[in-house]
């Protein structure tokens, strides 16, 4: 016989079970809506929305721009500069196989030229989150939030692999700018660089990014919009193909006509010519704005006392055409040739005549024109981010 107490307990248990089921259904519905919003490819792009209010495409896709094969003169290495990665003329444009592809850029900055303070905040924002080379990651804030509350969380997501991650914010003034203290922001836009010198953004890195981005978003009270992985991977591969086809260095050598040069005496002379010493033992010729035009290597370890060969290297995509890095490098080589009793030679130790150097200068100009035609001009912030 069932007592009143047992009936009460059964009734209470039934109410509890119904409550648990209802709560789970509500949580499931809430999670479904969140996933649908996160993976909805039709959301507004908060950075690229036109002033008129019409919705723009959610992200830039390199597929929207034709990517001809190497040698075509549009996005590949021109045939007269070696055709494709791995063809190494001497002298000429050659792949920089020693590049690591790392970047010191973080939330607060990117490898732009020296004085960020002189750059308008809108331009600096585009330098940090660039639709051409970044995967855009819009974040909708639940409420306007001050920069000092956002920065500690954003600083936790600075890299995935060796790909830098940046964030900019839409200030109450209506301007997009790097997130900073004392400013209230209504929206955020994140961006992860799609490719570096060494690799393209891959599926593992992107999965890590999504996980960490969700954690950061929960911490700051934001809803992230996650682009489709398949589209992002295709964009990353296309951009990396461009980087690989244009990852080039141009080098000339100075060979001693007599006895090897004493390193101590040589380095003193190089410093007088304006070279700055670097930790790796190379010397760099400053460009006057925080960067450098070209570098010089003694081709020996720091423990050696003499050398009979110097190598000058121009990192072609990292020097703007207006700076005439090749012309400056050749002028420096001729200066050293006269001072040191040396001969300018190629990698096969063959002398380089003025006619040959002039021909190479013409090839460099065509290479720069090719990069400019791809909207990634040599020496630009875009190029420095991809090739630094």
279-288 pLDDT, tens digit per residue, is 777 899 999 8
Residue 41 has pLDDT above 60, yes or no: no
d(CA 90, CA 192): 36
Looking at the DSSP bridge assignments, the partners of residue 224 are: 139
pLDDT at 128: 93
Residue 27 has pLDDT above 80, yes or no: no
pLDDT at 121: 65
Task: Report residue 8 as tokens.
Answer: 């009460």
pLDDT at 30: 44
Question: SS3 string of 228-296?
Answer: CHHHHHHHHHHHHHHHHHHCEEEEEEEEECCCCEEHHHHHHHHHHCCCEECCCCCEEEECCCCCEEEEE
Q: Which domains does the chain have, with CATH numbers?
A: 102-245 (3.30.1400), 247-387 (3.30.1400.10)
d(CA 328, CA 189): 40
Could you report the per-residue pLDDT of 62-91, keeping only the tens digit for each?
A: 333 333 233 333 333 333 333 222 222 333
d(CA 239, CA 138): 21
């Amino acid at each position: 016989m069932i007592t009143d107490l047992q009936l009460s307990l059964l009734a209470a248990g039934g109410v509890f079970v119904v409550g648990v089921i209802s709560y789970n259904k509500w949580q499931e519905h809430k999670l479904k809506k969140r996933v649908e919003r996160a993976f909805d490819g039709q959301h507004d792009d908060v950075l690229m929305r036109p002033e008129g209010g019409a919705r723009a495409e959610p992200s830039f896709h390199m597929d929207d721009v034709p990517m001809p094969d190497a040698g075509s003169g549009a996005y590949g290495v021109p045939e007269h500069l070696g055709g494709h990665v791995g063809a190494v003329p001497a002298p000429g444009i050659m792949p920089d196989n020693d590049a690591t592809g790392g970047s010191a850029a973080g939330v607060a900055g990117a490898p732009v030229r020296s004085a960020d303070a002189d750059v308008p905040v809108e331009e600096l924002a585009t330098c940090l989150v660039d639709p051409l080379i970044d995967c855009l990651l819009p974040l909708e804030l639940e409420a306007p939030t001050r920069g000092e509350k956002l920065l500690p969380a954003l600083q936790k997501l600075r890299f995935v692999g060796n790909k830098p991650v940046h964030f900019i914010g839409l200030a109450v003034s209506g301007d997009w700018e790097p997130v900073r203290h004392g400013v209230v922001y209504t929206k955020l836009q994140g961006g992860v660089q799609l490719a570096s010198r060494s690799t393209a953004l891959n599926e593992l890195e992107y999965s890590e990014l999504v996980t960490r981005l969700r954690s950061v978003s929960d911490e700051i009270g934001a809803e992230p919009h996650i682009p489709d992985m398949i589209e992002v991977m295709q964009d990353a591969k296309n951009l990396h193909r461009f980087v690989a086809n244009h990852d080039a260095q141009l080098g000339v050598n100075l060979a001693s006509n007599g006895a090897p040069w004493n390193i101590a005496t040589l380095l003193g002379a190089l410093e007088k010519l304006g070279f700055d010493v670097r930790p790796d033992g190379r010397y760099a010729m400053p460009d006057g704005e925080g960067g450098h035009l070209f570098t010089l290597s003694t081709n020996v370890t720091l423990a050696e006392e003499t050398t009979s060969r110097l190598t000058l290297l121009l990192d072609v995509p990292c020097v703007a055409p207006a700076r005439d890095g090749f012309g400056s490098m050749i002028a420096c080589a001729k200066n050293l040739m006269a001072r040191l009793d040396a001969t300018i030679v190629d990698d096969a130790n063959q002398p380089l005549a003025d006619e040959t150097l002039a021909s190479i200068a013409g090839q460099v100009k065509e290479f720069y024109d090719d990069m400019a035609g791809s909207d990634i001009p040599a020496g630009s912030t875009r190029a420095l981010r991809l090739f630094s």
